[in-house]
Amino acid sequence: MALALSLGQRGQGTCWPNPSVGCVLVRNGRIVGRGWTQPGGRPHAETEALTQAGSAAHGATAYVSLEPCAHHGKTPPCAEALIAAGVSRVVAAIEDSDPRVAGQGFAMLRDAGIEVMTGVLTDQAERELAGFFLKTEQGRPFVTLKLASSFDGRIATATGHSQWITGPRARRAVHAMRARHDAVMVGAGTARADDPSLTVRDLGIEHQPVRVVVSRHMDLPLMGQLARTASETPVWLCHGPHPDVERARAWEGLGARLIPCALQEHHIDAADLLQQLGHAGLTRVFCEGGAALAASLLAEDLVDELVGFTAGLTIGAEGLSAVGTLGLESLDFAPRFDLIGTRAVGDDILHRWGRSTR
């Protein structure tokens, strides 16, 4: 199951709106097939593993990180394929939350006389597939908030100088993290200040996450990196009501997708923003700031994981704070997370914090 889970990780960022599942077929103590959900979400993991195993699947045990599907979608149900291949036992980490499946995959298998076991490495599967569960159960994607800051929690000097706080190894690690999310998201201020490309580079990875920019007024340079590359790598512009017609037309002309969102006190409402992104199919979003967007997500309890890169330099109180105002009067209301892990990356420290999503 641990291997099935790690195979599932390979598809992260590429399968949305589907979950990235892993499957291992074992017969007589030997692995006869391995698979994971393919880009775009199909074929499913089981189909891949069964194809690899061929007739060796007969009498095998299938380890799957998610309950095999039971519905006729664009492909026939995996439960049916496992039955047809003569698999004798199915071990699944967790039940599927898609109402078309939700226990029916297990029922189909049991009805066909296949031994079904579940609840193996369930906590790990719940974490790996959290984006898919959140989308099907709450309508929003999993949100990772990444910040690269100085020792004293600043992301730039008062004049906006921010390149670079963390070193090349940390920046490379960020690219690898981008690749495992469906989308990278920034606020308009960051897009204007840094003119980022928000792509995955220098890792030999061809797949690119969607680039989401949150800008109430679509106030973004039409000559910047995002605009120049919008026809090759998707740009989604999340904007407020009544956008400027000229700007909207210009961005659409460049190939951007426009996503209208509701406002909350003059800002784009973070909860509605994420509902819109979930509706568009995203399961995992990597937010890279800036301070205002980070604060609005945190204030509404919409961040699931914190990824911090901390560099060994100080910028001082006049520097730009990584997170905008939260209006807290007591620590009791501070968004709090549990430590997942920490390690050195080059000369910087990476720390990850999470909270339960169900």
Instruction: At 190, list the tokens.
Output: 């960051």
Residue the block writes with tokens 């898919």: 132
Q: Which is nearer to ligand AOF, 78 or 268 (CB)?
A: 78
Q: Which is nearer to Zn ion, 18 or 296 (CB)?
A: 18
Q: How far is the CB of 100 from Zn ion (least distance, A)?
A: 10
Alpha carbons 156 and 136: distance in angstroms, whole number: 38
Instruction: At 318, list the tokens.
Output: 């006049």
Alpha carbons 357 and 353: distance in angstroms, whole number: 13
Q: Which residues bind Zn ion (CB under 5 A)?
A: 44, 69, 78
Beta bridge partners of 186: 213
Residue 46 appears among annotated catalytic residues: yes
Identify what 98 binds: ligand AOF, Zn ion, none; CB under 5 to 8 Å per kind: ligand AOF
Q: How far is the CB of 113 from ligand AOF (least distance, A)?
A: 19
Is the previous residue joined to 19 through a cis bond, with omega within 30 degrees of 0? Answer: no
Q: Which is nearer to ligand AOF, 68 or 308 (CB)?
A: 68
Helices (H), 61-186: 78-84, 104-111, 122-128, 130-138, 168-179
Q: How far is the CB of 277 from Zn ion (least distance, A)?
A: 24
What are the residues whose beta carbons fall under 8 Å from the beta carbon of 149, sequence distance 6 or more?
155, 165, 308, 309, 310, 311, 322
Identify what 42 binds: Zn ion, ligand AOF, none; CB under 5 to 8 Å per kind: ligand AOF
Q: Which is nearer to Zn ion, 72 or 207 (CB)?
A: 72
Q: How far is the CB of 283 from ligand AOF (least distance, A)?
A: 10
Q: Which residues bind ligand AOF (CB under 6 A)?
A: 18-19, 21, 37, 41-42, 44-46, 66, 68-69, 73-75, 78, 96, 98, 101
Identify what 18 binds: Zn ion, ligand AOF, none; CB under 5 to 8 Å per kind: ligand AOF
Q: Let me know: does 87 contact 57? Beta carbons within 8 Å.
A: yes
Instruction: At 229, list the tokens.
Output: 């590359």
> Which sequence positions are flagged as catalytic?
46
